[in-house]
């Protein structure tokens, strides 16, 4: 798509904070760390049609860290899947936008997620299914660095390599924090690049994980790897809460934080630079 990707990122960030601000609480840190990835995927990389969310042979995105739902919804609304007004119904009674992703409620959501580890397995299954069908789709999935502690991740990782799923491009949001502290202190997952390589994956390490141009470059490299018989893991070194200084400064406390509408407006002003 022909677009100003930095402006797309700003729009998605603003809509994410406003929806969480309306609700009053949410997974703001882990939403803001993945906005740049979502923008690049939905606006530049994925073969999708917002008017046909279930189009056969489309590329899929499975957000295994399902608590980043609000950022995915803001991305989908900006991309034209549904009206932006809906974003202000986040997790309200009867809404089609629950705080975690639900494929049976929301246009554009490819898998129901929220129980950490499971979405990644579903993505591996979708990649295998796509290869069996021969529909040429690329399957994208996103896990958290804390989520990487789940045993289920490594079972699926082993299976994906064994089945040579080179149509699968996964990302780890390496923001350094999980629900109650620093990943390195709670249960260190490092060295992630060595672990994924040992599991038979092609690994790309992106130092600037919140730079949409660096993300796009990594995806292009992953796509060139297709035919090589290995799935790709892109490690994105991100900042939890990226783009809003007072949320970044909270560290682990920004995982599932209270956010008033006033705070949200303050965040929007910073994102917009006004």
Q: How far, in Å, CA of 180 to CA of 174, rounded?
A: 15
Q: Which helix (H) or strand (E) holds 124?
A: helix 118-133
Q: How far, in Å, CA of 161 to CA of 130, rounded?
A: 15
Contacts of 74 (CB under 8 A, 6+ apart): 11, 12, 13, 15, 16, 19, 35, 87
Kindly tell me which of 52 and 115 has the beta carbon lying closer to ligand TPP.
Answer: 115
Give, as ranges, the residues between 24 and 53 that touch ligand TPP (CB under 6 A): 27, 29-30
Give, as ranges, the residues between 235 and 254 that touch ligand TPP (CB under 6 A): 240
> CB of residue 272 vs ligand TPP: minimum separation in angstroms?
24
Under rule CB under 5 A, residue 175 binds Mg ion:
yes
> CB of residue 16 vs ligand TPP: minimum separation in angstroms?
13
> CB of residue 128 vs ligand TPP: minimum separation in angstroms?
23
Q: Which one of 11, 106, 178, 210 is in contact with ligand TPP (CB under 6 A)?
A: 178
Q: How far, in Å, CA of 69 to CA of 241, rounded?
A: 15
> CB of residue 169 vs ligand TPP: minimum separation in angstroms?
18
CA distances, 37 to each of 70, 143, 176, 252 (Å): 14, 12, 17, 21
- Greatest CA separation found in the chain? 51
CB 42 within 8 A of CB 3: no
Q: Which one of 106, 130, 167, 175 is in contact with ligand TPP (CB under 6 A)?
A: 175
Q: How far, in Å, CA of 166 to CA of 42, rounded?
A: 20
Q: Which one of 48, 116, 137, 153 is in contact with ligand TPP (CB under 6 A)?
A: 116
Q: Which residue is nearest to ligand TPP (CB)?
A: 144
Three-state DSSP state, 257: strand
Kindly tell me which of 30 and 231 has the beta carbon lying closer to Mg ion.
Answer: 30
# residues contacting ligand TPP (CB under 6 A): 20
> CB of residue 146 vs Mg ion: minimum separation in angstroms?
5
Q: Which residues bind ligand TPP (CB under 6 A)?
A: 27, 29-30, 65, 67, 114-117, 144-147, 173, 175, 177-179, 240, 255
């Amino acid at each position: 798509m022909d677009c100003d990707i930095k402006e797309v990122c700003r729009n998605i960030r603003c809509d994410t904070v406003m929806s969480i601000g309306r609700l009053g609480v949410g997974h703001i840190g882990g939403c803001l760390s993945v906005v740049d990835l979502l923008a690049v995927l939905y606006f530049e990389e994925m073969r999708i049609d917002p008017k046909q969310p279930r189009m056969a042979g489309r590329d899929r995105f499975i957000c295994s860290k399902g608590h980043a739902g609000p950022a995915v919804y803001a991305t989908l609304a900006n991309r034209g899947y549904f009206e932006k007004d809906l974003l202000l119904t986040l997790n309200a009674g009867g809404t089609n936008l629950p705080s975690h992703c639900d494929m049976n409620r929301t246009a554009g959501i490819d898998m129901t997620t929220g129980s950490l580890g499971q979405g990644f397995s579903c993505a591996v299954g979708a990649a295998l299914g796509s290869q069996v069908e021969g529909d040429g789709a690329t399957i994208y999935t996103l896990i958290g660095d804390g989520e990487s502690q789940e045993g289920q991740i490594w079972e699926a990782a082993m299976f994906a390599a064994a089945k040579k799923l080179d149509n699968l491009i996964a990302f780890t949001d390496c923001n350094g924090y999980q629900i109650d502290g620093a990943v390195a202190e709670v249960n260190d997952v490092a060295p992630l690049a060595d672990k994924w390589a040992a599991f038979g994956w092609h690994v790309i390490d992106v130092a600037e994980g919140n730079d949409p141009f660096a993300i796009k470059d990594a995806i292009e490299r992953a796509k060139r790897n297709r035919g090589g018989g290995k799935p790709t893991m892109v490690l994105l070194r991100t900042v939890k809460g990226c783009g809003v200084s007072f949320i970044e400064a909270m560290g682990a406390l920004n995982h599932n934080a209270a956010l008033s509408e006033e705070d949200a407006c303050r965040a929007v002003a910073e994102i917009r630079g006004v």
